[in-house]
Amino acid sequence: MLIMSRIVISKLFLYRYRFIIGYITLGLAFVSLIFLLPLISPAGLSELERESVVTSYNLHFSSITSGDLVDLPYHILQKISILIFGLTPYAIKLPSILVGLALGLLLILLLNRWFKSNVALLASIITVLSTPFLYLTGSGTPLIMLVFWPTLLLWLGSKIQGEKAPKPLWCFAFAIALLLAIYTPHLIYLVAFIIFFALLNPHLRFTIKSLPKLPLICVGVIILGGLVMWFTNIFSNPAVASAIFFGDNLSVSKFFENIKTGFAPFFSWNHPLEGVHLSPLIGLAHLALALVGLISTRRGFFASRNAIASCFIVFSLVLSGLVPDSALLLILPFSILTAHGLRYVLEKWYGLFPANPYARIFAIFPLSILLALMIVPSLTHYIYGYKYTPAVANNFNSDLSLVKSELKENSILVLPEDSLDMKFYKVFEDRHHAVQIYSPKDELFASANLREDIATLGKLDEFVLPKNYALSRIVTSPNRDNSDRIYIYSYK
């Protein structure tokens, strides 16, 4: 008679390497999705993306030395991308894709350092596949740096805190990241917040006291010297100082209006809002899990990771009063609170069956349903919402792709003088030399010897058509509003 050997679950290959397999699967799915983002959604470029391109391309060494420091690290990356790959939607978004990959990795490392592997893995999946994270990674604007720098600083801080002898390399990396972060508007307040929080929190005060003296002095000198140079350049340029510190409007009424505008996309369940943010940015299941995490941390509030999440919510609230888009910084505290919520749910479930291994296996099914309720709707909401929600889709246009595909070589593109379109397509003309850019007031149109096609973005009221030219066709987009994108005039 054969005696069947007892299966020991802990010795199974899939069980022993479940977290490694999970992180590899998450990494492959995440990298594939991130690099496909420009091809998935949204279908076009927003006004903020075109403004970012103009700023990046016009960035020169002389402008940097004169104090043009707003979002400097990102604009350098974007200019390099455009110089290498030309002015294409993918090249415009590539810096955000690369920073998004680094941000996703940092979130995974940070959660894995603060929580158990099972909690960190699940929270990482929910966070990096959420609608606001995908929007930041797929948008060619410096807004992603507002989340990247705090996450990097938290991870570097976690490598220093709790270590008996922190490595000097982490201290120097923290100092450099701190200095680079202040080039992002309003993150100078994060520096003040970090200093205040370090002095207030007893765990962090003990960590600072335990640091080796020489690296601590060197880090202090680097930070102090960098801040002095930064303040010198900032205050030599009042416009830059205003952008870095205050934003466009300082009135109290505007401050609270900005907060309402910034947080509205997170909680607009009934109807989509007009703008570039697809509402709601956070699903109900995700929000409920984060609330569970927030409530579960009430007893251990002064543990560093608990207080950090709560303080960053307040910090996001204040920053959104200056610039509404700053509310997207909520991604960071939401990821921490989501991990807290998952930890609480799993602990309560396992607490019901402390000696029953089958209960742990059975938990896979409800947990899978919970993850599916958060991830699948979030992905479909992002992919289809940016294309088919009129209130959002109309804030993006595919004019650049239409110009490249519909205009012949050496065609003339007429744009309003000193407009954003004029500045943006001047970059296109400089990089591709396929289209000539002019304004309606240009003397060229007084000539009767033109033979090339003439195109305009939209119907320009002030455009005076040269002799012997007539409208030949209109290029349209699939958008509901303003779908007549390019008017093309040909020589008769």
Q: Can you read off the two tokens belonging to residue 186?
A: 């309003």
Higher pLDDT, 322 or 299: 322
Can you tell me whether residue 469 is helix, strand or coil?
strand
Q: Return the exposure string of 255-281: e unless at least 16 CB atoms fall within 10 Å of the residue's CB, then b.
A: eeebbebbbbbbeeeeebbebbbbbbb
- For position 164, what pLDDT does the model report? 65
For residues 370-393, average pLDDT: 84
What pLDDT, in 10s, does the model give residues 73-91?
A: 899 999 999 999 988 888 9
- For position 1, what pLDDT does the model report? 42
Tally the C-alpha atoms within 13 A of residue 211's C-alpha that lie toward its C-beta.
24
Q: Return the exposure string of 311-335: e unless at least 16 CB atoms fall within 10 Å of the residue's CB, then b.
A: bbbebbbebbbbbbbbbbbbbbbbb
- For position 144, what pLDDT does the model report? 92
74-83, 382-391, 444-453 — which is least confidently predicted? 444-453
What pLDDT, in 10s, does the model give residues 102-119?
A: 998 898 888 888 888 778
- For position 81, what pLDDT does the model report? 93
Percent of the chain surpassing pLDDT 90: 9
For residues 460-472, average pLDDT: 79
- For position 66, what pLDDT does the model report? 64
Please state the separation of Cα 25 from the chain's center in Å: 23
For residues 215-228, average pLDDT: 74
Q: What residues contact residue 428 under an 8 Å CB cut-off, 6+ apart?
A: 87, 400, 403, 435, 437
Residue tagged 């998935």 (tokens):
40
Q: Is the pLDDT of residue 8 over 60?
A: no
Q: Is the pLDDT of residue 138 over 80?
A: yes
Categorize the per-residue pLDDT at 248 as very low, low, confident or very high, splitting at 50, 70 and 90.
Answer: low
- For position 74, what pLDDT does the model report? 92
Categorize the per-residue pLDDT at 304 as very low, low, confident or very high, splitting at 50, 70 and 90.
Answer: low
Strands 454-457 and 435-438: unpaired
Q: Return the exposure string of 116-143: e unless at least 16 CB atoms fall within 10 Å of the residue's CB, then b.
A: eebbbbbbbbbbbbbbbbbbbbbbbbbb
How far are the Cα atoms of 127, 134, 344, 364 from residue 369, in angstroms, in the given order?
Answer: 17, 22, 17, 9
The beta strand positions in 42-96, using DSSP E, are: 45-46
- For position 403, what pLDDT does the model report? 87
Q: Return the exposure string of 204-213: e unless at least 16 CB atoms fall within 10 Å of the residue's CB, then b.
A: beebeeebee
How far are the Cα atoms of 205, 209, 211 from residue 215, in angstroms, in the given order?
Answer: 16, 12, 8
- For position 303, what pLDDT does the model report? 58
Distance CA 392, CA 381 (A): 12
Residues pairing with 144 in the sheet: none
Q: Is the pLDDT of residue 286 over 80?
A: yes
What are the φ/ψ torsions at residue 24 (nearest 5 degrees)?
A: -65, -45
Q: Strands of 484-491's sheet, edge to edge?
A: 435-438, 411-414, 454-457, 484-491, 469-476
Distance CA 158, CA 169 (A): 13
Residue tagged 């990771």 (tokens):
305
Can you tell me whether residue 301 is helix, strand or coil?
coil
What are the φ/ψ torsions at residue 488 (nearest 5 degrees)?
A: -115, 125
Residues pairing with 455 in the sheet: 413, 488
- For position 12, what pLDDT does the model report? 59
For residues 89-101, average pLDDT: 91
Distance CA 176, CA 194 (A): 15
What pLDDT, in 10s, does the model give residues 144-154?
A: 999 999 999 88
Q: What's this model's pTM, rounded to 2 decimal places?
A: 0.85
Percent of the chain surpassing pLDDT 70: 84
How far are the Cα atoms of 184, 246, 247, 279, 303 from residue 272, in angstroms, in the given order?
Answer: 29, 29, 26, 5, 38
- For position 99, what pLDDT does the model report? 93
Average pLDDT of the chain, as a whole number: 80
- For position 356, what pLDDT does the model report? 66
- For position 379, what pLDDT does the model report? 86
For residues 441-461, average pLDDT: 73
- For position 176, what pLDDT does the model report? 83
- For position 247, what pLDDT does the model report? 65
Q: Can you read off the two tokens belonging to residue 456?
A: 């305009």
For residues 161-183, average pLDDT: 77
Q: Is the pLDDT of residue 231 over 90?
A: no
